[in-house]
Amino acid sequence: MIYYLYIPFIARILKTYRLYYFAIVLVLICSQQGMTQSIDSLKDRITSQQALIESLRYTELVQSMSQRSLLMPSYQAELKALVAKQAYDFWKDSDETYVSHLNMYLALYYANKYLDDEVSFNQAIGHSESVVSIQFGNDPNIFYSAGSDGKVLRWNLSKLDELPTVVYQGPHLIRSIDLSHDGKWILVVTRDKGVALVALEDLLSESGGVAFDPEPVQSAVFFPNELKYLTVNDEGVLKIKGYAADIPSPGTVQSRVNALAIKPDNEDIYAGLQQGDVVIFGKDGVDQIEGKDHYAINALDISSDQKLLIIGRELGDALIWDIEKKKVIRTISGHQSAVTDVDFHPYENTVLTASRDGTVKIWDIHDPKKLPQVLDDHLSWVLTASFDPSGNKVISGSSDNFIRVWPIDPAVLAQRICEMIDRNLTIEEWVEYVGPTIPYTKTCD
């Protein structure tokens, strides 16, 4: 558009040489081009606004239908499911927005639950008390759970209706479990009896495949790539164990350690403290992430690319810490109670947080405007949660004694509805729940 500035100047030159005709033609041509560009620009803006209005219209429709499905009673299970499935179809076929998925997933979830046996849908029952820790091994179908009932159970994801295998049972409370990198050992951290090392391939031996380290500990984990483990005793002394030779202590902490994480590439140790700080024991010395508001650290995890650390706090939020830049790049706030567990997705830029508010939430790491995917069906505190190795499911454990398995992709739940229902919305139902202005289509082919 800069050439408009030169039109009067060029016209004066042409007039000076008595070329009036050419001056008039030049002005008319330039004016016409400017008008054409302005009209095209206006058309583009109108088209963009129309697309935005249409997107907002479908966002509102998806939200409205999802909410109405959630409010329907269980005795209208088929209608409840069809409305949820149709809301999903509208969401899938339109541009994804920041909020349209918020109730859509839960609508699909509860529709499936009430179409199926609502008591057992997606839940596994094996513990008689709170489920406190969940760990996966090398087999993506196998996971282990620990309960405050003193049991460690082995589950098969593809056969959740079958009874789990008891791999350990003791007369004491369990804080957490961890699995060795080769998947052959489980580290059982008890509240007052030290740790138990369970050899998974030797459970039928005379000893039961269990060895005890009786020193009481606050927390303990395996190292990522070696058969050694880290403990923090009651005096706050960090100890590395697993070899016959003595290994120097990495250091000591002055506050209770609630969580540990070890960075695989350099074995830097991250200790989350009750007083709200994270102490880092590295090759170059000791560093610290200071918690300015002193809320207890309950959970830690390191991303698969080893660039980020997530810190779950008693405040009900989680901090994402850039390990290289040494700064918080995002604060995730969205729970009504303390965050009890955190886990990075194995491949994607998402992370989950579990909370005592009874929910698990999946967050986009880099897009704070995008609302989380909410997994909400536990009857009490969610104490542990983890992505499965494929990244397609979340497994959660709660103080309601249940384990739940959640498919992350809503398409799985949507497809399951059409496998269980042999009808579609009637015209009258379509008009009531979708509206008379949107052409009727079959929800299930």
Q: Which of 361, 389, 405 is nearest to 126 (CA)?
A: 405
Beta-ladder partners of 281: 269, 286
Between helix 104-115 and helix 410-420 the angle, nearest 10°, is 30
Q: Is 429 left (phi over 0), alpha (psi -120 to 50) or beta?
A: alpha
Distance of alpha carbon 81 from alpha carbon 306, whole angstroms:
41
- The residues pairing with 221 across neighbouring beta strands, listed in sequence order, are 230
- pLDDT of 94: 74
Which residues on neighbouring strands pair with residue 28, listed in sequence order? none
Residues of the chain with pLDDT under 70: 1-57, 95-100, 119, 202-208, 244-246
The tokens 């008890």 sit on which residue? 190
- Comparing CA positions, the residue from 128, 129, 160 lying closest to residue 143 is 160
pLDDT at 51: 47
pLDDT tens-digit series, residues 359-390: 999 999 999 888 899 999 999 999 999 999 99
pLDDT at residue 309, rounded to an integer: 98
DSSP 173: -
Q: Could you tell me the domains of the chain? A: 10-116+417-433 (no CATH), 123-408 (2.130.10.10)
Question: What pLDDT sits at residue 107?
Answer: 96
Predicted local distance difference test score (pLDDT) of residue 26: 47
For residue 154, how many other CB atoms are within 10 A of its CB?
18
